[in-house]
Amino acid sequence: MKRLAILGSTGSIGQSTLSIVEQFPERYSVASLAAGRNVEEAFAQVLRWRPKVVSLADEELAGQLAARLKQAGVTDVEVVYGTEGTVACSTLPEADFVVSAIVGVSGLEATHAAILAGKPVGLANKECMVAAGEILTAAAREWNVPILPIDSEHNAVHQCLRVGTHDEIKTIWLTASGGPFRTTPLEQFASITPEQALKHPTWVMGRRITIDSATMLNKGLEVIEACRLFDVSPSQVRVTIHPQSTVHSLVEYVDGSILAQISVTDMRLPILYALAYPERPASSLTFDLAALKHLDFEQPDFARFPCLRLAFEAAEKGGAHCIALNAADEIAVEAFLDRRIPFSGIADTIEKVLAATPESHPGTIAEVLAADREARATAAALIG
């Protein structure tokens, strides 16, 4: 029985993880939950799963949940809050595996703490790896702790890499759907609305990641994440637009062989892979081979997707530039959704923040978070 700490339990990845627990009760149970701000969903999850610890975003929300649990007669679940609470969930002695699915850098300290506590981590939070991947991977090597990617693209790469050695890797190919504006005339980009950008053609995701898919900044973050997870240079990672989203990623080896991972577009599959690794338990997540009758691949256009270009540039510099890329994007996406800047303003903001960022390589989580705050402040000031 593998006992799970789920960070971001009320989000889509957290809920998909809980559905896996429900499907495989003989394999998995819930040790702790970090539920953010959704008190209603957290209450329902605690009643269903009875974790030892549950964490909310702040003291007020934790108080609300504790009162509801007491009223319901639940007295054996500890309610904690804030960063310390999330860390308590990720380092709980009873937890055997940590699913890191909190959006943004909010889960960074808890993810790092889990690694230092010797916990295997299933990583669905690319922002942690983008901002502090150099620190996280160094800690994972030191403590001999696996970081197993849950993002569908990196999970696919991880599967393809099981048949070759690191020295045999030529190119990692990350596939992208191209988002909702793959064929939209460039002259219409200035009038793109949040409603249009939130209509992803393939995946149902959170608001920020959906906008990032529309700008392809999401794929840029994945390039940086791939460099850190698989210890390759940015020149070894390429992006190809694949609208069908049936091939999740590919690995090209030096002998000319290319291996692709193909499966249904259902996040439960990469979650199950990470939870069960190195096993492959039988599941109902089957793929219809008829869907392979037509596959398209095309080069991304940097003029159409300048955020992807900026991500490759940040990947080459590393350190503070990767932190600034992610931080500036988060502020810019929020401003776009609030209709304070146009769609093109997202890339403009990121480019200006990167230009103002000095080259450095923070060596601690505290330094990473300080650089993150500085980049956010710069982006906010630019937007006004």
Q: Of 134-143, 199-208, 240-249, 316-325, which gets the smallest average pLDDT?
A: 199-208
Mean pLDDT (the chain) is 95
Query: What residue spans define the domains of the chain?
Result: 2-149, 154-317
Spell 62-75 as b/e; 16+ CB within 10 A means b. Answer: bebbbebbeeeebe
pLDDT in tens, 240-285: 999 988 999 999 999 999 999 999 989 999 999 999 999 999 999 9
294 pLDDT above the threshold of 80: yes
Q: Which helix (H) or strand (E) holds 34?
A: strand 28-34
CB 361 within 8 A of CB 320: yes
Pairing, β 147-149 against β 169-176: unpaired
Q: Which pLDDT belongs to residue 79?
A: 98
pLDDT tens for residues 314-355?
A: 999 999 999 999 999 999 999 999 999 999 999 999 999 999
**C-alpha to C-alpha distance for 91 and 82, rounded to whole angstroms:** 14
| Number of C-beta neighbours around residue 235 at 10 A | 11
Question: Which of helix, strand or coil describes residue 90?
Answer: helix
Measured between alpha carbons, how far is 366 from 252 in angstroms, rounded to an integer? 37
pLDDT band per the 50, 70, 90 thresholds, residue 291: confident
Pick the CATH number of 2-149 from 3.30.565.10, 3.40.50.1820, 3.40.50.720, 3.40.50.800: 3.40.50.720
Q: What percent of the chain stands above pLDDT 90?
A: 89
What's the pTM? 0.93
What count of Cα atoms within 13 Å lies in the side-chain half-sphere of residue 296? 11
Tell me how far apart the alpha carbons of residues 238 and 174 are, in angstroms, rounded to a whole number.
6
Instruction: Give the integer Cα–Cα distance in Å for 223 and 50.
Output: 38
Query: Is residue 201 scored above 90 in pLDDT?
Result: no
